[in-house]
């Protein structure tokens, strides 16, 4: 039996990570990576980080986490890209956001000696999947490792019933960035909730 390859999985949140990580563990030795400078406000960032940390502890997974709240660098990365209004152009905004997260994930995976990297964002029907895969492949192109960009949308929500009882994980109602929060609150107030 051959040893599984090691993969670094970018985790956007615990609710997506639970079933994606479980699925990827069938093919890989999984380590999670929390790098999400896009998440706003700070309280939301801290809730998501705490929940990913709790999930990884419960699953016995190693977690690498960038714990810096990154609103200013995130906005600079969007507005300094030039040529578009991030508030009005979702495709370009999200593509740039994916690039801002997939690039560091690929470089971290390469530096730590992983064979591949991926992201739990691949499970979300709310993400722009073609743009996400394009940025993942672009990030991998600058390294010596692979991007596993398989379609994971069929997994969305499939693992919540298998989470350990009593493990309270924050479940969010918007992508995470200040723009998606504003879009969501335009339709109604955003309230986070704890889920088992």
Specify the higher pLDDT residue, 13 or 131: 131
Residue 159 has pLDDT above 60, yes or no: no
Q: What is the pLDDT of residue 94?
A: 96
Would you say residue 195 lies in a domain?
A: no
**pLDDT, averaged across the chain:** 87
Q: What is the pLDDT of residue 17?
A: 84
Residue 98 has pLDDT above 90, yes or no: yes
Would you say residue 147 lies in a domain?
A: yes
List the CATH number of the domain containing 26. 3.40.50.620
28-34 sheet: strands from edge to edge: 63-65, 28-34, 5-10, 116-119, 146-147
Would you say residue 47 lies in a domain?
A: yes
Residue 195 has pLDDT above 50, yes or no: no
Would you say residue 196 lies in a domain?
A: no
The domain tally of the chain equals 1
Sequence-distant (≥ 6) Cβ neighbours of residue 87 within 8 angstroms: 93, 179, 182
Q: What is the pLDDT of residue 18?
A: 84
Share of the chain above pLDDT 70, in %: 85
Residue 187 has pLDDT above 80, yes or no: no
Would you say residue 37 lies in a domain?
A: yes
Instruction: For residue 176, give its domain range.
Output: 5-189
Tens of pLDDT, residue by residue over 15-56, are 888 889 989 999 999 999 999 999 999 999 999 999 999 999
Q: From the centroid of its chain, how far is CA 20?
A: 11
Would you say residue 63 lies in a domain?
A: yes
Residue 3 pLDDT level (bands cut at 50, 70, 90)? confident
Would you say residue 194 lies in a domain?
A: no
For 17-42, letters b (16+ CB in 10 Å) and e give bbbbbbbbeeebebbbbbbbbbbbee
Residue 190 pLDDT level (bands cut at 50, 70, 90)? very low
Would you say residue 111 lies in a domain?
A: yes
Tens of pLDDT, residue by residue over 144-157, are 899 999 999 887 76
């Amino acid at each position: 039996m051959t040893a599984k390859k090691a993969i670094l999985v970018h985790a956007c949140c615990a609710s997506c990570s639970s079933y994606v990580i479980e699925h990827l563990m069938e093919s890989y030795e999984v380590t999670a990576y929390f790098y999400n400078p896009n998440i706003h406000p700070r309280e939301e960032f801290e809730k998501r980080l705490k929940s990913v940390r709790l999930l990884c502890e419960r699953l016995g997974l190693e977690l690498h986490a960038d714990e810096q709240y990154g609103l200013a660098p995130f906005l600079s990365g969007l507005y300094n890209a030039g040529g578009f209004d991030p508030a009005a152009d979702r495709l370009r905004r999200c593509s740039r956001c994916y690039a801002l997260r997939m690039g560091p994930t690929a470089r971290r995976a390469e530096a730590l000696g992983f064979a591949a990297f991926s992201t739990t964002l691949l499970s979300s029907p709310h993400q722009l999947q073609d743009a996400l895969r394009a940025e993942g492949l672009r990030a991998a192109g600058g390294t010596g490792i692979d991007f596993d960009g398989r379609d994971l949308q069929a997994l969305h929500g499939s693992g919540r019933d298998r989470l350990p009882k009593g493990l309270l994980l924050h479940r969010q109602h918007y992508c995470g960035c200040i723009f998606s929060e504003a879009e969501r609150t335009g339709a109604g107030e955003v309230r986070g909730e704890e889920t088992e």
